[in-house]
Structure 1
C-alpha cells in the first residue's frame, strides 16, 4: 500500500489504526449486501427458493423480519473487520516497504500479490475466521432454530459445544479466501496506484474510490469459490471444508461455487471503494497526530 505520503513509509501504528477505522466503516455500511450474499450461499429451505437479486433478498427480509434482521451478525463482522483490516494494512504496508524498489518506491505485480497474500493469512489466523464463523452462524440460525440471542451468546454456545475448534470451523476455506482476496484486493489497488504514480495522476478521493472498486471486482471474480466454501463450513451446524465442497457440488454442481457472485460484486465494488478511500483519509488524519505525539514524547525524554 502506498502511503498517503507517497514515498515515505506509513508508521506501523498509523497503518494499524487507519486500517481498523477503514475496516469498521466498510463493514457497517455494506453489511446488508453481505447479509444477502450469505443467505444465498447457505442451503435453501425446502419449498422456499432464495432469489438471486440481492435487492429482493434485502427487501424481503426487511418486510418480513424488520431492519434489525438485516444487521444480524453485523457486530461480529464489524469487530472482525476492525481487527482484520488493521492487521492486513499493517502487514501489507510493512511488507510493501521492505520489498519496494528503493528508487521508485513501487513493487512488481508479483510482489504486490505476495505481500497481500501474506497479510491475508495473518489476518485469517488472528481475527477473520472466528468472527466470520459467528457472523455466518448468526445469519443461518436466524432463519432456522433462532437459539442465538447475540454474537456473544453464539460465541459462548459454540465454545461450550465444540471448544475453540468450533470457532475456527472453516479455517482452511477462510484462510484460502483471505490469502487470495487480500492478494488480489490490496495487490490490484497498489498496482493501479503505482501505475498512476508513474503517470503523475493525482491521488484524490475519486481516484482512490475507483481503484478500490476495480480491486473489488477482480477480487470477487477470482475468489468466489473460497467464499462459498467458507460460508457452508461456517453455518450454524458447521461442516468441514471437504463436507462443504461436497454439499455445494451435490446441491448446484460446479456453478454452485460462484453462488452469490452478483451479490458479492454489489458489495465489493461499493465496499472496495469505501475501504481504500477511508484508509487514505484516516492516514491523513492520524499520521500528523501520531507524529505530533511522538515529537512531544521525544522532547520530554
Structure 2
C-alpha cells in the first residue's frame, strides 16, 4: 500500500471530533484517576465512586468535564495535525516513516499539544475536581472557575505544571503513535495487505497502544496532577521537588496511583480516538498520496 499523508484541515477536524467524543464517554474514569492522585488519605477507585455518588450524584462524576471536553478536542486536533506534520518532515525518500522516526514525531506532537492545549485544560480540570470535593466549592463551573483561577493567580495559574505536562504528553504521544503505527503496519502488511482495516481491528490496536502508554508514563501523570492541585504552590517548589517528596514520603508505588482508572480510560480512549479519526478521514477523503522528500 503506497504511503499516504493526511490533509491538515481534515486531520484537525477529525482529531478534534474524536477527542471530544472520547472525553465525554470516558470522563468518569478520568475523574476517579485524578481524585486518587491527590495527597492525603488513599482511596480506592470504588470508594471514590461511592462517596461521589452519595454526596453529589451522577453529575459529581462529571465535575470538570466541560474543561476536558474543550481541552481534549483542541488537544486531539493539535496532536494529529502536528504528528502528521512531523511525520511528513521525517519521512524517507519513499515517504515511509521508521519506528524511531515515528517515536520522534510523536514526541514533537506531544510537546506541541502540551503547550497549546493540554496544560491549560488539564490545570483547570484538576482544580475543578479538587475544588468539588470541598464542603463549599468556590468554582461554579468551567467559565467561572477559569476566571477565578486567572484572577487569583494570573495567566500562569492555568499553566501550572507545564514541564511535567510536556514530559507526559511527549512520552504519551511518542509511545502511543509509535505502538499504533507499528501494529497497524504489521497487520496491514500480513493479515490485510493493501486493504483498509475494519473498525474492530483499529479499536483493538488503539486499545493496545493505550495499554502500553499507561504503564510507561504513569509517574509523569501523578507528578502532573500534584503540581496542578489547589495546594501545589504551598507544597512543591517545582516538579523535581514534587517527585522527591512523593518518593521519600509516600514510596515509589505512589507514582502508579490511579493506574486502574487511567488504564480503563486510555485503553478505551485509544480505541475510540483512532477509530473515530480513521472513519472521519476515510469518509471525508482526507488522505492523499505522500510526496517523497
Q: Could you tell me the TM-score, scaled by structure 2's length? A: 0.90
| Equivalent in 229, 232, 238 of residue 223 of structure 2 | 229
**Deviating more after overlay: 29-38 vs 140-149:** 140-149
Task: Verify the 8 A CA contact 1:18 1:286 in the aligned structure 2.
Answer: no
Structure 2: distance between partners of 1:79 and 1:6: 35
Structure 2: how far apart are the matches of 1:173 and 1:13? Answer: 29
Question: Residue 297 of structure 1 aligns with which residue?
Answer: none
Structure 1 position 250, deviation (Å): 4.5
TM-score, length-normalised on structure 1? 0.87
Shift of 1:60: 3.5
What are the residue-to-residue correspondences of 1:163-182 with 2, within 5 Å?
163-182=154-173
Task: Give the corresponding residue for 1:298.
Answer: none
Q: Secondary structure at the match of 1:230?
A: helix
Does 2:126 correspond to 1:136?
A: yes
Structure 2: any 5+ residue segments left out of the alignment? Answer: 289-293
In structure 1, the gaps of 5 or more residues are: 292-301
Q: What's the CA shift for 1:237?
A: 3.1
- Equivalent of 2:34 in 7, 32, 38: 38
Which residue does the alignment assign to 1:252?
250
1:180-201, CA deviations, whole angstroms, 9 ceiling, x for partnerless residues?
A: 0011111211111122232252
- Match status 1:26 vs 2:22: yes
CA deviations 1:105-164 (Å, max 9, x no partner) are: 432111111000000001000010010000000000111251111111111111111111
Question: What is the rounded CA distance, in whole Å, between the counterparts of 2:275 and 2:225 in structure 1?
Answer: 28
- 1:279-298 to structure 2, matched below 5 A, reads 279-287=277-285
| Gap change, CA 1:44 and 1:286, over 3 Å in 2 | farther
Confirm or deny: 8 A CA contact 1:27 1:78 kept in the other structure.
Answer: yes
